[in-house]
Chains A and B, each alone.
Chain A
Amino acid sequence: MTATEDDATTADVSTPGRPVSLGPAGWLRWGWRQLTSMRTALILLFLLAIASVPGSVLPQQGIDPAAVSQYYQSHPALAPFLNRLSLFNVFAAPWFAAIYLLLFASLAGCVLPRTVRLVGSARQQPPRAPANLARLPASASYVTATAPAQALQQARALLTARRFRISEGDGWVSAEKGYLREVGNLLFHVALLALLFSVGLGGIFGYKANRLLVVGQGFANTPTALDVFRPGRLVGPGNLAPFEINLHGFSAKYVSSGPELDQPLSYDASLTYADRPGTPVRRYQLQVNHPLVVDGVSVYLIGHGYAPIFKVTDGTGTVRWDGPVPFIPVDQTTLTSEGVIKVPDAKPGQLGFAGVFLPSAIDAGGRLASAFPAALNPRVSLVGFTGNLGMNSSQAQSVYQLDTTGLRQLPMQAEPLAAGQSMKLPDGLGTVTYLGYQQWVSLAITYDPGQLPALLSGIAALAGLILSFLIRRRRVFVRATAAADGSTEVWLGGLARSDAAGGFETEFSELAELLRAELPAAAERPFVPERGEVVTPAAAAPAEHDGASAQARASADGQQAAVTDTAGGSGHLGTGVSPVSTVSPRASTDGE
């Protein structure tokens, strides 16, 4: 499950085919190996990506319930089927949970053993240097007049100064560096697990709520006062922070000319709040992107609209309704809004009204329309109904919709009302007066204790990611042996255990050059290595990339030839000419 090449390779190797006969324990081990293999992780990642797609294409219950009902209406046959597959609630679906839980199980199964191994390797010394350093992906050699022990001593000092971890033995030094890469890699994966837990924490102990508030009104943060209340699994009514909020004003500014006409510029809600009943009241200007945080709970401004004020007097002369009625915008650019007034107590008959509010009414070809979102010329047109509103039935009703079955439409004037105008209802049913308008805001109230842990996990994941991308784990070995003529042959070999992006060759050749420069040259004889001095990864091992091998091999040959030509075998190593020989061509063409 990680980007470490060697681990990945072992994981692949250790994924066997179906075993022939295994006990229950063997089957479990086999299953666990399958689950934690890189291939399974890749497939699960792929499934996770695929499974997310319907969540963005189909309307989702948790995001836009209205769109889901809309979908039910337009696709009556398909919708129930999709619903059975949880496709309207993808991110809470059991099969979605199955994918990510399997993925995280696979991740944990990969990360935990590696953590144990990392702790083990942190205490371990680098391994003994291989006998033939020329076989390693990067190698270099030279002859020096220094004694072997001293040459090794200098190599050791050089590598120690570069913060390599050192171990040494008879005639060799081996060094390793870059343990932080694995630490970063593990940190990233563990942080992802922590992120999942943080999200779960918020889902269990947090809550989300919505409240529509007309200017002049206030509410206390209790479940009954909230329009929508979605508590986490372990949240009870007593867990809500008991703050109170009162809305005193709201202003919205819009672009009033030019190509961006109607575009909102700012929303500003003036409110006062108290942490709990009886505590001092404070003011706050609530704006988009500037939530109010009170007692650990955040309050957001997420919507606004108009609430025309009506007075409804019934046939007996009793005022049955007097106050603002929030209308819902049906056109976000001009804020044309619709709403209903229900007066079930009216006598002699129940009254209901469906209304349209136009903030800036204009005559658009014989039809009324709103030209601008601000209330420059507010008008309300109403259609009245009488009959049984059905509010005594057990079925829940929306306050924003009028069910006209069982209602009779009243013949009424079509002319929309301006503020202060009244309309007499026929048959002595009463009068309705439009008194003016008020504005409302909708507030989102959220409490999410998983927020901070999620943020910290995210930061840790990012830090781990960067660490694991920046650092490579590499080993450098040095061997020094005394030659027959009293000089010393020094061999350097190196390999990067994780160097997917390259760059180790540069570091290695730099090290080799540094060490060579420190050791006095033995100029009296040219050093001719037994096995050929230039060993390049492309030439020594089959190239890892398709099609690359032929080319790379050709180029490696070319380079060897070039080196031999320029140096001419005239003691170039001893006289310090050719650091080029240690650089493999793959890195070179790459420019690293």
Chain B
Amino acid sequence: MPINASLGDLSNGLLLVAVVLYALAMLCYASDFAFARHRIMAGLTDTTVAEVAVPELVAAGSGGPATNVTASPPSATSAAGERASRWPSGFWLRLAFGLTCAGLTAHLAAILARGIAEHRTPWGNMYEFIAAFTCMAVLVLVAASVRYRAYYMGLFVMIPIVFGLGIDLTVLYTPAGSLVPALQSYWIAIHVTAMIVAIGLFIFGAVVTTMYLLASRSVRRLAADQPSWSAGILRHLPAPAVLDRLSYRSILFAFPVWTFGVMAGAIWADHAWGRYWGWDPKETWSFITWVVYAMFLHARATAGWRGRRAAAIQLIGFGCLLFNVIGVNIWISGLHSYAGMG
């Protein structure tokens, strides 16, 4: 089937719109930090504690058999209050979150248009792959914002997203096209999709962990009465333990997905190349990534390793992941060399 060029152009335009909206959202998240006075040390004030605590209880109770809890007067009133507090508060944060959601919509539409234009799953080369996993990362940000009120992560997640998409659109751009025979399989929809989901979650986890390391350092410096230059921004973050847990959650989600993705890749490799594991550079690095993240999970459960050491291991794992996604494609040739970059 021929490539639909006009839909391909539409996809390019939509992706550009998404980047612009993300960049604006990033500025608004920053403005929220700069101008909003309502939430200093957001996670530490008792108001936030009270805001969150009650509704969570209700949310959990309404799912179970205990409807009588939700019916009791104090819970009911706080449930109404909660429905409002799940969403962002303050002008800048609302604007930032709105822009994020609008950007995400454009981003999703760009991917959809590209897929329709090409009559295939639109993750066949580096350009499409990066567009897809950055989209997943924004999706994770939005979900974490609403579910865990992690709006404070908006700025820090948007920085790498805007940067990555910018490079994707300028340096790595590949026009809509067809797939080489090796990629013509339904396994692309399974294996690569799993990898995209996992990478999006890993990105979010890595950004949160970076903020955890900075925040815990800042807390130590504050305790020693030597505030660092970043203390002004970092005081908008919740307690390091909260960041640590948020990051851990995303890895807990990502790791099985990554495991599944590697396994699906092995099954596909068996279909296409006649062996399920052959230590191709891409396979080797996905194995290394897996091992380092497994180390992180073990380290975090071990006394003396949890905290900053485990966080450092997670960042090493993310470094391996980045090398696998980008470095292997650029510097090492192997069976996975169809990213459109030689």
Contacts and interface: CB of A to CB of B under 8 A. Distances in A.
Interface in A229-264: 255, 258-260, 263-264
A364 interface: no
Interface string B224-263: 0000000000000011111011101100100110011001
Contacts of B248: 500-501
A562 interface: yes
Contacts of B75: 579
Contact of B301 (A255, A455, A500, A510): A500
Counting contact residues on chain B (CB < 8 A from A), the size range is 35 or more
Contacts, number: 273
Contacts of B223: 547, 550
Majority secondary structure, A binding face: helix
B291 A48 contact: yes
Interface stretch (A26-34, A270-278, A419-427, A580-588): A580-588
Interface in B53-112: 53-54, 56-57, 60-61, 64-66, 68-69, 72, 74-75
A544 B301 CA distance: 11
Contacts of B119: none
Contacts of B163: none
Interface residues of A, number: 102
A212 to B, nearest CB: 15
Interface in B26-76: 41, 43-46, 48-50, 52-54, 56-57, 60-61, 64-66, 68-69, 72, 74-75
Interface in A299-322: 300, 302
B13 interface: no
A46 B295 contact: yes
Interface string B187-203: 10000000000000000
B177 A260 contact: yes
Contact of A576 (B72, B244, B328): B72
Given A510-B64, A558-B46, A266 B184 contact: yes
B320 A546 contact: no
B315 to A, nearest CB: 14
Contact of B45 (A459, A548, A558): A558
B237 to A, nearest CB: 11
A90 B287 CA distance: 14
B239 A548 contact: yes
Contact of B239 (A90, A259, A502, A589): A589
B269 to A, nearest CB: 11
A156 to B, nearest CB: 16
Interface stretch (A5-13, A16-24, A79-87): A5-13
A591 B272 contact: no
Contacts of A290: 271
B281 A56 contact: yes
A227 B42 CA distance: 69
B178 A265 contact: yes
Interface string B265-291: 011001111111111110011011001
Nearest to A300: B274
B50 A291 contact: no
A52 B281 CA distance: 10
B274 A208 contact: yes
B272 A266 contact: no
B216 interface: yes
A97 interface: no
B171 interface: no
A4 interface: yes
A502 B304 CA distance: 19
B176 to A, nearest CB: 10
B46 A559 contact: yes
A161 B64 CA distance: 12
Contacts of A562: 46, 49-50
Nearest to B86: A591
Nearest to A206: B275
A145 interface: no
B43 A12 contact: no
B341 interface: no
B9 to A, nearest CB: 14
A548 B240 contact: yes
A448 interface: yes
A208, A265, A501, A547 interface centre (most CB from chain B within 10 Å): A547
A510 B57 contact: yes
Contacts of A514: 61, 64, 66, 69
Contact of A255 (B178, B280, B294): B178
12 contacts: A1-B298, A38-B298, A42-B295, A53-B284, A208-B275, A288-B181, A288-B184, A445-B274, A500-B248, A517-B66, A545-B307, A588-B56
Minimum-distance CB pairs A-B, first 8: A558-B46, A547-B219, A588-B53, A548-B241, A56-B284, A300-B274, A444-B274, A56-B281
Interface of B: 41, 43-46, 48-50, 52-54, 56-57, 60-61, 64-66, 68-69, 72, 74-75, 147-149, 175, 177-178, 180-182, 184-185, 187, 215-217, 219-220, 223, 238-242, 244-246, 248-249, 252, 255-256, 259-260, 263, 266-267, 270-281, 284-285, 287-288, 291-292, 294-295, 297-308, 320, 328, 332, 334
Given A302-B273, A502-B249, 20 more contacts: A11-B302, A46-B292, A49-B292, A52-B288, A56-B284, A56-B328, A258-B177, A288-B184, A289-B187, A448-B276, A465-B256, A513-B57, A514-B61, A517-B72, A547-B220, A548-B241, A548-B244, A586-B242, A588-B53, A589-B239
